Each structure stands twice: as C-alpha cells, then as structure tokens.
Homo-oligomer: A and B are copies of this chain.
Amino acid sequence: MASKYPRSLRCCLPLCAFILQVAFILLFWFFISYDTPQMQQKFTVTYQVIQDLTLMAALGFGFLSSSFRRHSWSSVAFNLFMLALGVQGSILLDHFQNQLFKEDVAINLLSIQKGTMSTVPVLISAVAVLGKANLVQLAVMVLMEASAFGVTKFVKKKYFHVEDHIITMYGHVFGAYFGLLVAWCLSRSLPRGPGEEAQTEKVQMATSSSLFAMLGTLLLWIFWPSFNSALVKEPNDKKKAVLNTYYALAVSTVTATSMSSLSHPQGKINMVHLHNAVLAGGVAVGTPCFLITSPWVAMVLGLTAGLISIGGAKCLPVCLNHILQIQNPGGIHYTFGLPGLLGALTYILMHGKNKNSIFNLTNQMINDFGALSFVLAMGMASGLLTGWLLTAKVWRAPHTSKYFDDQAFWEFPHLAAGF
C-alpha cells in the first residue's frame, strides 16, 4: 500500500529548481547585458508581438491540455513553470550561439520573442507527457529539449542555410515527435497494473474543464497569425502570412466540425477532435505561409490539415496504442506532427518552384528534404535519450496509479482539513 502514496518531492524539486535558477542567474550575470537604445516605434510593434506570443504560450498551451477531470491544475501551472524556465534557457542558448556566429550578442526585446518561440516545441512535447511525469522530470525535459532544439537550429543555420522562420515552424514537428518518444519510453518503463482502470476515469473530461480547454484553443486560434508572422521579415510577406493563416484556420474549423460529426455513428461531434483539429490549419500553413500568394491555396491546405487531423484522431490511436504502446490523449501527433509535416512538404514544393534550372531545383529540394529529415531525426533521437533518462529512479516519477491526478502534486485545502 505504501508505495501507492505519492513519493515526496520535498527535497528533490526545490533543490533542482533552485540550483537551476541560481545557475541561470549567475550565467546571466556573467554573460548577458542589455543592448543600446532602440527606437520607440519598433519597441511598440515588438512588444505587441511578445505579448501575443506570451499569451499563446502561457494561457493558450496552458489551458489547451487542461481538459482532464483531475489534472487541470497541474496542466496550467506546470506549463507556466516550463515556460519561465524554457525562456531563460533559450535566451542563454541563443546568446552563446550568436557568439559562435559572431553576431550581435546583446539582449533586447527580440531575445524574449525568440526565446518564447523556441520554448513552444517544449510546451508541445509536454502535452504528451503531462500527467505521467512530475515537475522535476519536466524541468529535465525542458533543459534537454531546449538544448536539442538549440543544436538543431545551429546545425540547420550553419549547414542547411535555413532561415529562422522555417526553423521555428519545423519546431512543431520536432516537439511532436520528441514528446511522442518520451511518452513511449515512460509507458514502456512501467509495469501494467490495476491502476489502468482508475486512470480511465481520470482522463475523462469534465464539462467545465473542457470549457477551459476550449478557452486555450480559442486563444491559440486568435493569436496563431501572430505566431506564424512573427519571424517573417519583409512587410508584404508578413501581411501574406497573417492572411493565409487566418483563412487556413477558418477552413480547418469548418472542416474539423463537419468531419468530427461524420466520424461518429450518430453524427455527434467530439470535443477533443475539435480542440486539436481547429488548430491544424494554422500549423499546416505555418512553414509556407509567406510564399502563398492566393487565399484559396491556404484554404485547401487548411481543408487537408483538418481532414488529416480528424482522420488521424480516429485511426492512429488504434495503431499507436496497440502496436507501439504509446498513449497519447493530448493528440499532439495529429495536431502538430502530421499537419506540420504537411506544411513542411508544401513548403519544399513551393520553395523549388522558382528555380530556373533542373539542377538548381534538385539541389534545393535535396537540401530542404535533408533539413526536414534532420529535424525529424534529431527530435526522435533526443526524445529517446530524454525518455530513457527520465525513467531513472532518481526523479521519483509518480506511480502509475497517480497518473493524471492533481492530488499527487497539489495541496488540497479541503483534504488537509479532513485529516
């Protein structure tokens, strides 16, 4: 019986988090300083983008995964913790990378913007792991994934000559497969037991936490054009990025709702499908959004992403759960993984279109495919490594029976009163 009680994190969590935080402060002390003044106008625009991104990261991703009946507190609060840690880590990594490239090494508002966008893959991966890992494991995952994504970005910039915007958009794919592999490792490491039945009850959605998840989805839906256009530099491309993202999201909303109804014997809509599939259009259009010159292309992409996402949600759980033994209630594979791949392939096709000779075209496509494969390989390899690391006993992982249970991590006042 005793082993069923949550293993105490009292020494482990504060020690790890505190040492990490002090280390970050020391690194900031030695290496980071603010840059010289910049213009007022630029400040306002950049600050607005940062606010949109922080809103998406803290509220959107936080509430997106809050639909489980007994795990909503952890989803929201752990997401904020990972964001706060991830942004600091990403800013430090970016800084050291820039020093290697001999680029501008001062810290400004753009650093926070880039740091937030680099943390988004971490938050995506976390959706697959939340409920099965404690906060120490998540902090380790944040560090591992931020480093792996930093290395990926560095290699792609140096050897594949890929722009910042493309690298960041490949982050969806990176985050999705990283998270899936970590979840696979965690689920393999534990013996199956009688806790499974109890778990089924816990992963059920409650009506009001589903509304919170809808709030997260809607916030992501509203601010997704900001995310897709944040790193596009040329003003006209930025405008196209916003418009294309908007149309793709609108079409994928209509498609997702109708397809979800088609996939149920009585024509009922599944809320979880909707939470994920309405965003698929925005993910799919992410990489090529600044290249698309007509709204209908973005709309077709949104339609395809919606179909893939709902199709994946109906068919993939069967394959993944039973063959690979990955449990994936958050559905990041068909929200971020598959639509992200669709977007990457569309980008590779569109990117080659303007090349004049067949040699250049082939060259370009090989380079682009190489970059995409590298992201996938890095995501899977680092995910596997991280997953293997997280199965170590030292992290005091929660017992299977405590999966998706807020009571393992949170002090409930009305329980304390009952003691």
Determine the distance from Cα of A261 to Cα of B258 in the docked complex, in whole angstroms: 44
Determine the distance from Cα of A32 to Cα of B243 in the docked complex, in whole angstroms: 13
The A interface is mostly helix, strand or loop, or mixed, namely helix
| B250 and A84 contacting across the interface, CB-CB below 8 Å | yes
Q: Please encode chain A, from 32 to 64, with 1 for each CB lying within 8 Å of some chain B CB and 0 for all others.
A: 111001111101110110011011001100110
Query: Which residues of the other chain, B, contact A28 by a CB distance below 8 angstroms?
Result: 247, 294-296, 299
A277 to chain B, nearest CB (A): 12
Q: Nearest B residue to A237 by beta-carbon distance?
A: B37
Query: Which residues of the other chain, B, contact A212 by a CB distance below 8 angstroms?
Result: 208, 211, 215
| B236 and A51 contacting across the interface, CB-CB below 8 Å | no
| B266 and A8 contacting across the interface, CB-CB below 8 Å | yes
Q: Please encode chain A, from 278 to 295, with 1 for each CB lying within 8 Å of some chain B CB and 0 for all others.
A: 100000000000000111
Determine the distance from Cα of A85 to Cα of B10 in the docked complex, in whole angstroms: 46
Is the C-beta of A262 less than 8 angstroms from some C-beta in chain B? yes
| B295 and A34 contacting across the interface, CB-CB below 8 Å | yes
Query: Which residues of the other chain, B, contact A37 by a CB distance below 8 angstroms?
Result: 235-236, 239
How many A residues touch the partner, as a band? 35 or more
Determine the distance from Cα of A208 to Cα of B246 in the docked complex, in whole angstroms: 31
A141 to chain B, nearest CB (A): 15
Most chain B CB within a 10 A radius of its CB, from A219, A243, A300, A411 = A411
One of B55, B249, B261 near A222 (C-beta < 8 A):
B55
Contacts A32-B295, A221-B58, A274-B77 given; does A10 touch B264 at CB 8 Å:
yes
Interface pick from A17-25, A339-347, A385-393? A17-25
Most chain B CB within a 10 A radius of its CB, from A238, A257, A267 = A267
Q: Please encode chain A, from 107 to 143, with 1 for each CB lying within 8 Å of some chain B CB and 0 for all others.
A: 1110010000000000000000000000100000000
The 6 closest A-B pairs by CB, nearest first: A10-B267, A17-B258, A9-B267, A14-B262, A29-B296, A37-B236
